[in-house]
Amino acid sequence: MNTILLGPPGSGKGTQGARLAGRLGVPKIATGDLLRAAVQNGTPLGTQAKSFMERGLLVPDDVILGLIGEVLASSAAAGGVIMDGFPRTIGQAEAVDEMLAARGADVTRVIVIDVPEDELIRRMLGRAAEEGRSDDTPETVRKRLAVYRDQTAPLIARYGTKGLVRRIDGTGGIPEIAARLDEALDR
Ligand code: AMP
């Protein structure tokens, strides 16, 4: 089961993805986490990614594909994966299809987490205060929401035509949202 969690920044993909990966016993591929680690470690890839992240822009596809190619092709991913914050562009989605097809697999489910924009802004600005995420400033938050609308939201229609999309309400408490997610996966 290869599941994609799709939703705007602040919709809870990270929280729900970690829980789901634990429950299913499969790895979670979270490109945002991988990129933050690369920036932290000062790797060449991290250096390349940093200025995009700070501006709320997407890191170019070739960098992202370099980052996840091996992970997705690895035997650890053979039993399925949870993709959180990836793919984020049509180009990345096409690459995912190819990488999975290369080992006879495909995308099984796409869960879209819906949260109203004012709630997203409130959550992200709260997260900036709590976790000190440098890309959670008011200006960057607005930029990231616009980037989501322009570049990532079109993936919903792409997977929708394949019948893979299940939408869930991402408001309320974490256990409540988790229950909706579990139900959507079985649907
Ligand atoms: P996230 O934690 O998933 O919200 O990601 C934080 C930032 O990392 C994003 O605003 C982007 O700059 C970058 N990023 C994470 N995942 C991707 C991706 N799949 N494609 C392009 N950029 C990404």
Cα of 187 from ligand 1 centre, angstroms: 29
Q: Which of 60, 114, 47, 58 is nearest to 85 (CA)?
A: 58
C-alpha R_g of the chain:
16
Catalytic, 166? Answer: no
- Tens of pLDDT along the chain (187 residues) come to 899 999 999 999 999 999 999 999 999 999 999 999 999 999 999 999 999 999 999 999 999 998 898 788 776 778 899 999 999 999 999 999 999 998 899 999 999 999 999 999 999 998 877 887 778 888 999 999 999 999 999 999 999 999 999 999 999 999 999 999 999 998 8
- Degrees to nearest 5, angle at CA 100 with 61 and 38: 40
What is the per-residue pLDDT for 44?
93
Q: Are 78 and 25 in contact (CB under 8 A)?
A: no
CB 4 near ligand 1, within 6 Å: no
CB 59 near ligand 1, within 6 Å: yes
What is the per-residue pLDDT for 131?
81
Structure tokens at 99: 């990488």
| Closest residue to atom 2 of ligand 1, CA basis | 32
What is the per-residue pLDDT for 134?
78
What is the per-residue pLDDT for 135?
85
What is the per-residue pLDDT for 161?
98
What is the per-residue pLDDT for 179?
97
Catalytic, 13? Answer: yes
CB 58 near ligand 1, within 6 Å: yes
Q: Give this prediction's pTM.
A: 0.94
User: Of 50, 53, 144, which is best to mutate to test ligand 1, by the most ligand atoms within 8 angstroms of its C-beta?
Assistant: 53
| Closest residue to atom 11 of ligand 1, CA basis | 58
Q: For residue 31, which atom of ligand 1 is closest to its CA? A: 16
Cα of 64 from ligand 1 centre, angstroms: 9
Give the chain as a 3 state SS string.
CEEEEECCCCCCHHHHHHHHHHHHCCCEEEHHHHHHHHHHCCCHHHHHHHHHHHCCCCCCHHHHHHHHHHHHHCHHHCCCEEEECCCCCHHHHHHHHHHHHCCCCCCCEEEEEECCHHHHHHHHHHHHHHHCCCCCCHHHHHHHHHHHHHHHCHHHHHHHCCCCEEEEECCCCHHHHHHHHHHHHHC
